[in-house]
Structure 1
Amino acid sequence: MRNPIKDTDYLAISARIKAMETTLLTRERMEQVLEAKTDDEALKLLQESGYPQLRGTDPTALDAALSAAREESFADLSDSAPDPRYIDVFRLKYDYHNIKVLLKAAAVGANPDHMLADMGRVSVQQLKDALAGNETADLPPMLAAAAAEAKEVLDTTRDPQLSDIVLDRWSYRDMLAVAEATGSSFLRGYVQVQIDAANLRALVRTLRMGKNEAFLSGVLFEGGDIPADAILKVSADKGAGLKELYEPTRFREAVECAQESLHGGALTEFERLCDDAVSDYLSGAQFVPFGEAPLVGYLAARETEYTNLRILLTGRGTGLSPDVIRSRLRGCQA
């Protein structure tokens, strides 16, 4: 049996995290990259912050470089984290992503290699072998069950979206189970706020499409802090009660924006505000001197940074104006 881990077991890694947080891109540095007159100037600013050469004009190369940076961060912290399950919460989404890719590629006879991300708990090769031979016994139990159910849904319906929903549901279930197994209320809260964000997005999209609550119930995820039955009631009432349900929560601003989106407005700002609500939850980690919270907060901050870099560099590469790019950037801690 794993010995209980105390906050004090995180003294050493918490000190490292505090030092590593100083290397996160600040809002000021991102603004400098955004306003750089040339791509070379923008790249130089990022290189000064420790990044390799990144170019938004080559999305494949950009994704590969960011994936390498992400994997380096995972590997570095995995060696010193008292409980590797805190890293697993961030890794496991790549397991489910890879299952999605492999199942859909097999269904149409395509080569999936360029879409796979070898950053999960399970190597890409092990997943390939397990699915090709229908031998999933060596996979983590929830991942094995998810792969089997998703394959059955895809084989039966030929609808990859339904298969993806199955895998997304298992992914959140897996994340929540890992969080609960650690005994960390902070990590569990992080997973729950992500589920709440996903369910709010699903509710708003359902209302925009004019679908009913039966449709929504098929895409809601279990385990969030906001009850599913309350979300379904808003759907059944055609959006009435949306503001009241979310007013007391950190999604208040996202819902205010959603009101405009329900009448045909763009979803871009709403999506950003949903992500910012998750970041708002994580901001509490900055005030915890030691324990698992600084580790979780740092890993999530890096994920946000990679997202922002992709938005920023891809936007520059496609000629978007600074104002448009700026409006899409997620909130950051630094």
Structure 2
Amino acid sequence: MTWTTDDIPDLTGRRAVITGVTGGLGLHTAIGLARKGADLVVTARDSAKADVALARIAKDAPGASVDVVSLDLADLADSRRAAADVVKAYDRVDILINNAGIMIPPKSETKDGFELQIGTNHLGHFAWTAGLWPLLSASGARVVAVSSMAHTAVGSIDLDSLTPQGSSRPYKRWQSYGESKLANLMFALELDRRAKASGSPVVSVAAHPGYASTNLTKTGMNVRGVSLPGVGIHQISKIIGQPASHGAWPLLMAATDPSLTGGEYVGPGALGGWRGRPKLVGMTKTARDIGLAADLWKASESAAGVTFTV
């Protein structure tokens, strides 16, 4: 049976927290949940962009309850601060969607000195989720990590990228992006394993949007100013990628499908995973590597300066 947004259950009285809603997947995911009655807590770095997103949500989901939390995932202290603010402000979180990210920028670093993609896409979310954990666990939340087909292009994760000295290899933007997305997927699976082993009611799943046309390519490559290759890739994506609203379908299914019990991976079901209605999809052998996942978790705790005990 084909999943559609009509399959999203009534979410009245349930709270969803989503990172990165100023455009693309995050915005359409927020709209999809708000239309079903969810109360939203959304994060953004830029308050002006957040205002535009709120106006769009209000237009497409009239009457939606939306709060905004400032969050910069490229700053570990800010990730921890934002999580503490959410824990203090709310009594429960039913859905957490870790969506925000950056893609293929020039060689850059986070505020803490980590390569920008692994630092933002994985490490910032790791610290943020660790800070939210007491509330997530008490709420029996559904946690969704947003990965990518790019995880299939790499065979491991250079854990040196999570150390103070960093990786010794030359920077390759696509390789680093793929590793950050592999880390997102491995985090989701490891969180699921730890939650089940501890008896936690939290359900951890992952999703990917296929090839969706968003601003991710443009913002990443233009991190240090306008990049002509970035403009070109962005225009190509607009032509051959599926709309961001369709790319959000796997995220919405992962966040709301009651049949999911943890450890699943949801993505588009057509054209080799590039587009189409969402379904359960496969992942690489590396993504299922339990030993590497445990090492990644330990390295992430050290790098983020947190203890993430499930």
Normalising to structure 2: TM-score of the pair? Answer: 0.31
Larger radius of gyration: 1
More helix by share: 1
More strand by share: 2
If asked which structure has higher relative contact order (CA below 8 Å, sep 6+), I would say 1
